[in-house]
Every structure is written in structure tokens, then in C-alpha cells.
Amino acid sequence: GEGAAREVAMEALRAREADAVPLGKDGLVAHLGAREALGDEAGRALDLALELAGRGARVGVATGRTRVRLSRPVGELVDRAAAFAREAQPGQVMADATTTELTRGRFELQHRGGGSALVKGPLLARRTETSGGAPFVGREAELAQMLASYERCTDDHTPVVVSCSGPPGIGKTRMRREVLTRIVTTLTTPRLVVVRCESFGRAQPFGVAAEALRGLLGLPKGVPAADAARALDQRFGDTVRGADDPGREQVARLLAGELLATTQGGRDALWIAMTDMLLRASAREPVAVVVEDIQWADPPSVRWLDHVVGRAVGRALWLLVLARPSFWRDHPRAFMGRDHARLELRPISRRATRAIARAVLGERGQDEQVLERIAAQAAGSPLFAEELARLAATGRGAAQTPTIEAAIQVSIDALDPTLRDAVGRFSVFGLSAWVPGLSALGVVEPPAVLRQLAAAEVVVEHADSRFAGADEWAFKHALVREVAYASLEPADRAELHGQAARWLAAVGEDAAVVARHHELGGQLAEAGVQWERAARQALAASALPDALTMAEQSLGFASSPPESFARALLLDEAYTRLDARSSERETAVRALAENVYDAASEVQAAGARARYDDDRGADAHIAERLLEVRQRAGLLGLLDEEVKASAALATRLAYAGRLPEAEAEAAHLLSLAERRGAQAAAVEAWQCLAIVRHTRGELLSALDARRNAARAAAAAGLRVREATLTINVGFALSTIGARHEARAAIEQGLATAQSIGSAGVQQLGRMVLLGWAALFGSDAALDVALAEPRAEADSAAGGGWVPHDRLTLGVLFYRGVELLRGALPADAPRALSLLRVAASAYRDTGMRDLLPVALGEWAEAERRCGDADRSIALAREAAELIEAGAPSLLNEAPVYLALHDALVDSRPREARDAIARAMPPLRRRLAGLGGSSYALPF
């Protein structure tokens, strides 16, 4: 309004601690909390806004920090509020996402896109004494610590994780609300993304990550992939590579909840693109990602969040996670090595407990005896204190409520029957439910019922919804849900789950969640279909343990051979990728055989059996069987099976020394790659050729084959393979003495492994790098990368059992060599102990390609520690192995040098012979380098 009306309004605002100044001809702008933080600025702003609207004004509300110039707020925040005001009709209030997030559950909203909403009025007719919760008490230290971590993050542009854990009801969610309020009103306002994990069912791999990225883009669940892609382009259009970028395509599918591309490498493209999005967003402005109830998040999302924080160097990315203690049991290594402030919420003090009880009790809170009793029984739990006080306020004693659950049960029982019934139906969905979903479950007029439940402090409304056009509500506490759910009749519960499954499937919920509902609803066939879909998605995301259980579940519910067969294939694939030799894979292979239903399935079943036997090294005729499968698959046009059988066959022939046949098979694979576009086949072909050539001593062309394999993997988008193969090229280069080139290749492979978050390949890379350092000498630049393997080895040097796999043993072996070469006499005993463990393990497990050189190094360590006889015996054993034809991966020189040094004092003639014996293997290596530039330095 103008003139006098505006003056009156401004006076009213000032009387309520808001600073108000005129804006333009007929507007005004008011702001709260700039001079002094009030706490709950957002809630007060909405109260005032509704009053102004009551006088016919159009009002826009935005929450954040702003500059104040000449008592007038200026900047983006004011522009945002003004834009909302222009959009509103006279008498309406529009609020932004931050405001609605911070006042969640207290106002009736009509949601619009991107989290903003039309504010209809306060949800509770008048805030009664027992509603809205107590003032925040007893957590000053934790609050200060969290705010400090956020400030450090934004001031220093550095990624920080804060975790806040504690048992149910201890105050994690409340803490989160208080921290966010203070951050957005008093510190640099971040781009805020809040994700709530759902207790229900097993989450889809990357489900929580998808939720966070949708939040970043302001997209609801169930958007079509095309819209998601458009949103990506709008926000990241300057950087994404356009429609042919496989990462963009994958992210769009993930956001839309569509099946991910199942091509190999699809998961890596997804991972990199997701990481990229969050990194780019946090390069532009501070980003605060909040994950509530992370104990229910899917493990791949947890790994990804951890990974992004590790990658966000130089960026203001703040990750706040709230967790029940079980999270740390399930993820003991989460956020290790990150800048991580870990807070444990302890019980609050007796004084704070009494303050909560007093606030809830209102005027009755004067009764010292009641307060004392509540404080004693609540034992420092804010939730229990609230519940007990609420009971006391209605005149009930606390005698029958020894636990929080019991207190909640009494409150639920006190609701009127319609509400109680609705609470039960609501609990079937889990923590959150949606208005149309509740209708589908037989709740009459959900909006009215929900408002009453909100007034009774049972549920709260969410500012945004997982599903477009479906208002989302949530239990105020997970414990309330648990109590309500437990009191449902089993028969009702099953029927409701069935209805929930149908509704959720229709709105695009993740298959895993829908499957679980079907299962609990006793609809096993439908459950099977959804589990199959979920398993496919998990495979595409490389979430292999998930894929395994999901595929198993779906197989159990299959009802026809084709259905069983398709699901057994998924199961076999999951086992193959997780651990191809595991005895459990037998279940999948057998299920395939039992459900053969046509010629193609018969070939596939035979192929799976042959490959499994091959992986286990079980049968003598495997090569013949693989060949047969490969030929029949070719005739039937089963390209995938043909490639798999051919690759297994080629490798087998190469290792068996049937070199010409192996070469022929590799040529077949190459032609499949070329003519039929099976890019992965080229990787297998080149790997096979590398083995063949290496066995022939053609080191140079073996190196070429390795390089080609890495290149083929890159071309096929197989990033894990690419990283592994690049590291292997580096390894091969170090065995021929190409010092600089070797290091460059290893570091390149390591970088690729890091970018895709592959822990296994990073371990491999560090092991090979340690080998490089042992051979050529380390320098300070490698200290960071090598800290972990060195420490791992040094702790194993003290004795104790170590796993006998190539990675662990390699680390021990190379660390032993490094210590031995380090010329510190004091290190020799440690070197001896490591080399003994590694070489003995190689001997016990028959790893003959590493054994001779490991024995040689062990011999050298024995000599330095004074046991000459033992040294001679070991060095002889090593030399004899080489001369009997053991194919050493490593340069054989150390074996003969050790033999020479062990003998030189007592038997000089034999020592001279040792050097002579070294010449043939070394000459063979030199010949393999065929006059190339590597030959001379070698």
C-alpha cells in the first residue's frame, strides 16, 4: 500500500523486531536478525508475512544472509523475495525453499517447483503450550563446533565432513535444524541440499546419491529422463559434452529412476559424471549437503559421498551426516582420512531435561516433583522427556512407561480412532508417506487427517516431495513409526503393503522398495519381477553384493523356466564379477542348466558351466568345451556368449603354453571387435597376446600388446580395466629398466583409478609404485602415495598371519626389498622378516612367476643378517627354479647376485660360476628388447 497504510505496516513490523524500510512507490522491505540473531528468523518472518498478507499485501519471503546498506538490505536475496512478491496475488505469501525447509511442519503450504511454496497459514491454529517443541537447550558446545567447521569450509574453500551420531531421540534432527538456521542467517548462505534416508527396505544402489543430485537440480523423483537431461544441460551446459556423453546419459537415467545402461563401464561413466556435478556446483558457490539418517543410506552412495569429499580439494563443500550408531558398525572406515569432525551426542544434562519438560508442560511446569520425576526417568533423552511431559500434561502418570516406546504407545492410544487408524496405514510406507498414497491405502481425506496428526505432534509436512504433485509427510520420529507399525494386525499389514507396492510402482519408486512391499504383501510373483529389475540396476551400478542378494531373491520367486533362466544369468554375472571362483557360483550355474528352454539358453548354460570350471581350474577338457560353446554361440548369433567363451579360451591356451592356438583365438576376438562392434573383445585379445609374447621372451612386442589392451579398454569406456592395464604397462616397463616411462604409466593408472573411486585398483597401483621405488629409489614426491602400503607392510613385519593374495604379498615383498636396498643396517632384520613371509607364501601357493626373485632377495637378507649357509641354500633354490624354466616376471639378476655374494668369501669359484649362470636369462631378456631404445640402458 501507499502513504499512511505503508507507515502503519512498517510500524507494526518494527514493533516485532523487524527492520522495515520503504521500497519503490508502494512496497516495503523488512528483514530480521541482521543486528542480532533471534533464532527462528524464518518462522517469525512467515508469521509477519501472513499478517501483512492479511492486510491485502503481496508478500515474498526469502531466507539467507544479505548485506545491509544504509539500513536497507541489498543483493540477490532481496531480489529473490521481491520476485516472489510480484508473483503473489494480493493477500498471498510466497516463500523460498530455504524458508520452507527451516519452518517445516509449522505452516500449511502449497508446493511449487524447486522447493518454493505458497504459504496458506499456520498449521496449528495457535501454537499451544505443548506444541512446537521446547527451546533448544544444552548443546552449545556441539553447535559451536559445527558452525566453526562450516566457517572453515567456506573461508578456506576446503571440503569438510561433520558427522553427528547418537541413539534415537537424542536430538540429531533437532541439531541439524538449529545448525542450518544459524548457517543460513548468520554465515555465508550455501546451496542447501537435504536428503532424508528412508528406513524402509533396502535402498537402490546410488538411491541416496540420486536424491542429493535431484536436490541440487531441484528435480522431483519420477521426472522423465529427457527432462533430467535438459535440467543437466541448463545447469552444467557449459561443461557437459552434450548428448553423446555417456556420463550425462547415465546421470539422467539415474535421476529419472530408469534402468542404467548395462554396458560395462556404464558405472564408471556414471560415477565420474555424478562427482563432476557436485564438484562443479561447489566450485561456483558453497554447497552444504545434509544426509539425515545416513544409517539407512545404500552403501554405494556412502562410498560416493566419501569419494566426492576426497576430490573436492579447493572447494567449499560441507557434508553433514546424521547417524544412529549402527552406521559406524556398518561403515567403520567411512570418511577416514577426510577432514572429518565427529560428534557424538551424549545425554543432555538434568537441567536441560527439566527445561524441556517445563516448556512442554507450560503452566503446569511449576510442579517440582513432576519435573524431577521426568528428569530422572528420561535419563538425558530429549525425546523421552518430551513424551513424558506430554503425558503428564494430560494428567497421566508415567508409571506404565518405562521406555520411550511405551510412552509413545500411550500417546498413540490416546488419539481418536480415525487418527489412530491413519497412523497405522501411514506406518506401512515407512517414515514418509504421500497424500495420494494414503488415499490408495484407504485413508479418507488425508489432508485433513494429516493436519490433525500434525497438531498432535505425530507427523510433519515436508517442504519438498520425492514424487511430483504428491505432498509428502513424515513421522516426527522414527520411533513413532516403529511403535505404530508394530501394533498393526499381521493380516492388515500384508494387505496394506500390497496396496502400497502398487501405488509406489505407479509413481516411479525404486524397484527394490516396491519389491520389498510386494514381498511383505505376499505377492511373490510381482516381488520377483521387481527384484529382477532391481538386480539389473545394481549390476549396472556395480553394486555387486546388492546385485547378488537381489538376483537371488528374484530367482526364488520365478515361476517359469525363461524367467528363472534370465534371473540365474543375473546371479551368475554378479558372482562372476564379485568372485569368479567362489563355490556359491555353483547355485547360479546349476539353476541355468535346470532351466534351459531352447537352443540359445542351452548354449548359454553350457558356456556358464565351462567358464566356471575354467575359473576354478577344475576340468581337463575345458578348452574343448569352451571352443564348442564359442562355435555354437557364433552360429546362433549370441555375441556376448561368443566373446566370453572366446576370451576364456584364449587366456587358457596362452597360460597352457599352446601359443599358436592362443594367437588364433586372439585373432578371432579381434575380428569380433572389428566386425561386430564388441569392443571388450579387443581388450581380451590384446591381453592374451601379451601373455603369448611374454612367454616367448618377446618383451618389446609384449609391451606393445599391453599398451594396446589399455587403449582398447579406454576406447570401450572400461575405466577399471584401463586403469589396471595402464598400471601393468608401468610394471612391465620397470622390469626392463625404463625408469621414467614406468613411473609415468603407473601414476597415470593410479589417477584414473582415483577418478573412478576404485579402491582395488588404487591398491594395485600403490603396490606397483612401491616396487618401482624399491627398484629405482624413492623420492619425497612419492611419500604420500606410499605411506599406506609402507605402514601396512611394517605392521606385518612384527609377525602374525597375512592374507596370501598377490596384492598383500606384493606389498610385503617390495617393502622388504626397499628396506634391504635402503642401506640402513638397522632395517635389515625387518627386511628379512618381510621377505621371508612373502617368499614362503609364494612357495606355498605356487606363484612361480614371483618365487625365484623373492627367494633371491630373501637369500640376500639372510646373508646381511649373518646366516651364510641359509643364504646359499635359498639362492641355489632360486637359481635352480629359473634354470628349470620357471617364467620369472621380474628381472632375474638379483638371484644370481645374491648367490654370488653368498659364496664369494668361502667358495670364489662357485661365485664366479653364479655370474656366468646369470647370463642366459639376462641375454634372453636383452634379445626380447630387440635393439630398441630400451636395450642399451637395460
Ligand X SMILES: Nc1ncnc2c1ncn2[C@@H]1O[C@H](COP(=O)(O)OP(=O)(O)OP(=O)(O)O)[C@@H](O)[C@H]1O
- Smallest gap from Cβ 172 to Mg ion, in A, equals 5
- Smallest gap from Cβ 320 to ligand X, in A, equals 13
State which residue, 296 or 772, has the beta carbon closest to ligand X. 296
Site map for ligand X, 826-855, x if CB under 6 A? Answer: ------------------------------
Instruction: State the residue for C-alpha cell 609374447.
Output: 693
- Smallest gap from Cβ 477 to ligand X, in A, equals 5
Q: Does 171 bind ligand X (CB under 6 A)?
A: yes
- Cα separation, 257 vs 203, in Å, equals 12
Q: Does 295 bind Mg ion (CB under 5 A)?
A: no
Size of the site for ligand X (CB under 6 A): 23
Closest C-alpha to 802, from 838, 771, 839, 761: 838
- Smallest gap from Cβ 481 to ligand X, in A, equals 9
State which of residues 201, 300, 382, 757 lies at the interface with ligand X (CB under 6 A).
382
- Smallest gap from Cβ 647 to ligand X, in A, equals 49
- Smallest gap from Cβ 385 to ligand X, in A, equals 7
Q: Does 174 bind ligand X (CB under 6 A)?
A: yes
By beta carbon distance, the residue nearest ligand X is 171
Q: Does 137 bind ligand X (CB under 6 A)?
A: yes
DSSP state of 221: B
- Smallest gap from Cβ 163 to ligand X, in A, equals 13
Q: Does 899 bind ligand X (CB under 6 A)?
A: no
Size of the site for Mg ion (CB under 5 A): 2
Applying CB under 6 A, which part among 1-9, 167-175, 266-274, 403-411 lies near ligand X?
A: 167-175
Applying CB under 6 A, which part among 92-100, 334-342, 382-390, 464-472 lies near ligand X?
A: 382-390
Record the cell numbers describing residue 363, joined without a space: 503452566
State which residue, 173 or 264, has the beta carbon closest to Mg ion. 173
Record the cell numbers describing residue 837, joined without a space: 613371509
Binding at 139: pick from ligand X, Mg ion, none (beta carbon under 5-8 Å per type): ligand X
Q: Which residues of 540-559 are buried (b: 16+ CB within 10 A; e: fewer)?
A: bbbbbebbbbbbbbbbebbe
Contact 311, 275 (CB under 8 A): yes
Here the contacts of 39-42 (C-beta below 8 Å, separation 24 or greater) are 39/136, 39/181, 40/181, 41/181, 41/185, 42/98, 42/99, 42/102, 42/103, 42/181, 42/185
Instruction: State the residue for C-alpha cell 519408486.
Output: 509
- Smallest gap from Cβ 478 to Mg ion, in A, equals 6
State which of residues 477, 707, 743, 925 lies at the interface with ligand X (CB under 6 A).
477
Applying CB under 5 A, which part among 24-32, 110-118, 172-180, 403-411 lies near Mg ion?
A: 172-180
State which residue, 433 or 878, has the beta carbon closest to ligand X. 433
Closest C-alpha to 595, from 555, 622, 632: 555
Q: Does 134 bind ligand X (CB under 6 A)?
A: yes
- Smallest gap from Cβ 549 to ligand X, in A, equals 26
- Cα separation, 176 vs 104, in Å, equals 13
State which of residues 138, 246, 424, 737 lies at the interface with ligand X (CB under 6 A).
138
State which of residues 173, 564, 708, 735 lies at the interface with Mg ion (CB under 5 A).
173
Cβ-proximal residues to 395 (8 Å cutoff; 6+ apart), any chain: none
Record the cell numbers describing residue 671, joined without a space: 575380428
- Cα separation, 560 vs 553, in Å, equals 15
Binding at 169: pick from ligand X, Mg ion, none (beta carbon under 5-8 Å per type): ligand X
Q: Does 172 bind ligand X (CB under 6 A)?
A: yes
- Cα separation, 782 vs 770, in Å, equals 9
Binding at 467: pick from ligand X, Mg ion, none (beta carbon under 5-8 Å per type): none
State which of residues 149, 163, 173, 758 lies at the interface with ligand X (CB under 6 A).
173
3-state secondary structure of 467: strand
Q: Does 354 bind ligand X (CB under 6 A)?
A: no
Task: Sheet with 472-475: list strands edge to edge.
Answer: 432-434, 472-475, 459-461
Say how many Å lie between the first and final Cα of the chain, rounded.
Answer: 89
State which of residues 107, 136, 150, 473 lies at the interface with ligand X (CB under 6 A).
136
- Smallest gap from Cβ 346 to ligand X, in A, equals 11
Cβ-proximal residues to 4 (8 Å cutoff; 6+ apart), any chain: none
Binding at 168: pick from Mg ion, ligand X, none (beta carbon under 5-8 Å per type): ligand X
State which of residues 33, 169, 222, 856 lies at the interface with ligand X (CB under 6 A).
169
Rounded to 5°, the CA angle 276-574-277 comes to 5
Site map for ligand X, 311-330, x if CB under 6 A? Answer: -------------x------
Question: CA dist 923 to 700, 894, 898, 928, 929, Å?
Answer: 14, 15, 19, 8, 10
Instruction: State the residue for C-alpha cell 567456506.
Output: 154
- Smallest gap from Cβ 181 to ligand X, in A, equals 13
For the chain, what percentages of helix, strand and coil (3-state, to nearest 5) are there?
A: 65, 10, 30
- Cα separation, 508 vs 258, in Å, equals 9
State which residue, 322 or 855, has the beta carbon closest to ligand X. 322
State which of residues 91, 122, 168, 447 lies at the interface with ligand X (CB under 6 A).
168
Q: Does 763 bind Mg ion (CB under 5 A)?
A: no
Applying CB under 6 A, which part among 54-62, 193-201, 381-389, 464-472 lies near ligand X?
A: 381-389
Record the cell numbers describing residue 157, joined without a space: 574453500
Closest C-alpha to 550, from 56, 316, 91, 204: 204
Q: Which DSSP string corresponds to 684-726?
A: HHHHHHHHHHHHTT-HHHHHHHHHHHHHHHHHTT-HHHHHHHH
Binding at 136: pick from Mg ion, ligand X, none (beta carbon under 5-8 Å per type): ligand X
- Cα separation, 616 vs 609, in Å, equals 11
State which residue, 177 or 533, has the beta carbon closest to Mg ion. 177
- Smallest gap from Cβ 194 to Mg ion, in A, equals 12
Q: Does 139 bind ligand X (CB under 6 A)?
A: yes
Binding at 429: pick from Mg ion, ligand X, none (beta carbon under 5-8 Å per type): none
Binding at 171: pick from Mg ion, ligand X, none (beta carbon under 5-8 Å per type): ligand X
Q: Does 478 bind ligand X (CB under 6 A)?
A: yes
- Smallest gap from Cβ 294 to Mg ion, in A, equals 11
Record the cell numbers describing residue 107, joined without a space: 505452516
3-state secondary structure of 194: strand
State which residue, 169 or 498, has the beta carbon closest to ligand X. 169
Cβ-proximal residues to 802 (8 Å cutoff; 6+ apart), any chain: 796, 808, 809, 812, 837, 841
Q: Does 170 bind ligand X (CB under 6 A)?
A: yes
Q: Does 48 bind ligand X (CB under 6 A)?
A: no
Binding at 294: pick from ligand X, Mg ion, none (beta carbon under 5-8 Å per type): none
- Smallest gap from Cβ 461 to ligand X, in A, equals 16
Q: Does 165 bind Mg ion (CB under 5 A)?
A: no
Q: Does 132 bind ligand X (CB under 6 A)?
A: no
State which residue, 172 or 632, has the beta carbon closest to Mg ion. 172
Closest C-alpha to 445, from 454, 453, 436: 436
Q: Does 356 bind ligand X (CB under 6 A)?
A: yes
- Cα separation, 438 vs 421, in Å, equals 11
* Segments of 617-691 assigned E as strands: none
Q: Which residues are at the interface with Mg ion (CB under 5 A)?
A: 172-173
- Residues lying near ligand X in the complex (CB under 6 A): 133-134, 136-139, 166, 168-174, 324, 348, 356, 382-383, 386, 477-479
